[in-house]
Chain A
Amino acid sequence: MTRPLVELIDIEKHFGGIRAVDRVSLDLWPGEVVGVLGHNGAGKSCLMRILSGAMTPSAGEIRVNGSPASFSSPNDARAAGIETIYQTLALADHLDAAANLFLGRELKTRFGNLDDARMLAEARTVLARLNPNFKNLRDPVSSLSGGQRQVIAIARAIYFDTKILIMDEPTAALGPSETAMVADLIRQLRDEGIGIFLVSHDMHDVFELCDRVVVMNKGRLVGAHAIHEVSKDDVLSLIVKGELPADWSARNLMAEAAQ
Chain B
Amino acid sequence: MPADAAMAMDERVKTEPFLARLMKRPELGAIGGVILVTIFFLATADSSMFTLSGIMNFLTPAAQLGILGIAAAMLMIGGEFDLSIGSMVAFAGMIFGVLTVNLGLPLILSIPATFVFAALVGAVNGLIVIRSGLPSFIVTLAGLFILRGASLVGLKLFTGGSTQLRGVREAVEGDMLTPLFSGDAFGFFFTWLADIGLIEKFRSGTPKVPGIPVEILWFVLVALVATYVLLRTARGNWIFAAGGDRNAASNSGVPVDKVKIALFMATACAAALVAIITVIDSGSTDARRGFMKEFEAIITAVIGGCLLTGGYGSAIGAFFGAIIFGMVTIGLTYTSFDQDWFQVFLGGMLLIAVLFNNAIRKRVTGER
B-binding residues in A (CB < 8 A)? 52, 54, 73-75, 78, 84, 86, 88, 90-95, 99-100, 103-106, 108, 112-114, 120-121, 124-125, 128, 135, 137-140, 142-144, 156
Contacts and interface: CB of A to CB of B under 8 A. Distances in A.
Contact of A114 (B10, B12, B16, B234): B234
A78 B253 CA distance: 9
B303 to A, nearest CB: 19
B366 A95 contact: no
A114 B236 CA distance: 9
B contact face: mostly helix, strand, loop, or mixed: helix
Given A86-B248, A92-B237, A128-B9, 15 more contacts: A52-B251, A88-B247, A91-B248, A92-B244, A99-B237, A100-B252, A103-B237, A103-B249, A103-B253, A114-B232, A114-B236, A114-B237, A121-B6, A140-B366, A143-B366
Contact of A128 (B6, B233, B240, B250): B6
A98 to B, nearest CB: 10
A86 B251 contact: yes
Nearest to A100: B252
B244 A93 contact: yes
26 contacts: A52-B251, A74-B253, A90-B245, A90-B248, A90-B252, A92-B241, A93-B311, A94-B240, A95-B244, A99-B237, A99-B240, A103-B253, A103-B254, A104-B252, A104-B253, A104-B254, A112-B233, A113-B232, A114-B232, A114-B236, A120-B13, A137-B13, A140-B365, A140-B366, A143-B365, A156-B252
Contacts of B245: 90-93
Q: Of residues B16, B241, B312, which shows the largest number of chain A Cβ atoms within 10 Å of its Cβ?
A: B241
A134 B365 CA distance: 17
Contacts of B365: 93-94, 140, 142-143
B366 A142 contact: yes
A124 B364 CA distance: 21
A contact face: mostly helix, strand, loop, or mixed: loop
Q: Of residues B16, B247, B252, B366, which shows the largest number of chain A Cβ atoms within 10 Å of its Cβ?
A: B252
Q: Which 8 pairs show the lowest CB-CB distances between chains A and B?
A: A143-B366, A104-B253, A90-B248, A92-B241, A106-B234, A75-B253, A103-B252, A142-B365
Contact of A90 (B237, B238, B247): B247
Contact of A92 (B13, B249, B364, B367): B249
Contacts of B253: 73-75, 78, 103-105
B2 interface: yes
Interface in B224-279: 232-234, 236-238, 240-241, 244-245, 247-254
Contacts of A114: 232-234, 236-237
B6 A95 contact: no
Contacts of A74: 250-253
A52 B248 CA distance: 13
Given A74-B250, A114-B232, A114-B234, A103 B13 contact: no
Nearest to B312: A94
Nearest to A99: B237
Q: Of residues A86, A93, A94, which shows the largest number of chain B Cβ atoms within 10 Å of its Cβ?
A: A94
Given A84-B251, A104-B253, A138 B232 contact: no
A48 to B, nearest CB: 12
A138 B245 CA distance: 19
Contacts of A125: 6
Contacts of A108: 234
Contacts of B233: 112-114
A128 B244 contact: no
A156 B238 CA distance: 16
A137 B236 CA distance: 19
B1 to A, nearest CB: 9
Given A128-B6, A137-B13, A143-B364, A95 B237 contact: yes
Contacts of A54: 250-251
Q: Of residues B248, B311, B367, which shows the largest number of chain A Cβ atoms within 10 Å of its Cβ?
A: B248
A119 B244 CA distance: 21
A213 to B, nearest CB: 26
Interface string B1-19: 0100010011011001000
A75 B254 CA distance: 9
A145 to B, nearest CB: 10
A105 B241 CA distance: 13
A92 B251 contact: no
Nearest to B363: A143
B237 A106 contact: yes
B304 to A, nearest CB: 15
Contacts of A112: 233
A190 B364 CA distance: 37
Contacts of B10: 121, 124
A75 B224 CA distance: 31
A106 to B, nearest CB: 4
A52 B238 CA distance: 20
A143 B252 CA distance: 20
A54 B365 CA distance: 28
Contacts of A120: 13
Interface string B164-203: 0000000000000000000000000000000000000000
Contacts of A106: 234, 237
A75 B253 CA distance: 5
B123 to A, nearest CB: 21
